[in-house]
Amino acid sequence: MTREAIGSYLGMKIETVSRIFTRLVEQGMVKVNRRHVHILDPVALIRRVGQFEAVPAMALLSWS
């Protein structure tokens, strides 16, 4: 799934999706390699998602 598709699915602009990915990478939660997102710390990611009720946690976990 492209960043554009993720943004469309979540109702966000691609710039916002890119900033969020950058922060998640910096925090060691995910690793991004071209079109693949590898979840490095699922517990931390779920905690982070729990802070934002508008984004379903399972939507983030299904990214590949």
pLDDT tens-digit series, residues 10-55? 888 999 988 988 999 999 999 988 888 899 998 888 888 776 655 5
Name the residue with higher pLDDT: 57 or 28.
28
Q: Does pLDDT of 64 surpass 70? A: no
Q: How many domains does the chain have?
A: 1
Our CA angle for 53, 57, 24, nearest 5°, is: 95
- Asked if the model's pLDDT at residue 61 lies above 60, the reply is no
Strands (E), the chain: 30-33, 36-39
What pLDDT is recorded for position 51?
67
Q: Which amino acid is located at 52 in the chain?
A: F
State which residues form the domain around 35: 3-61
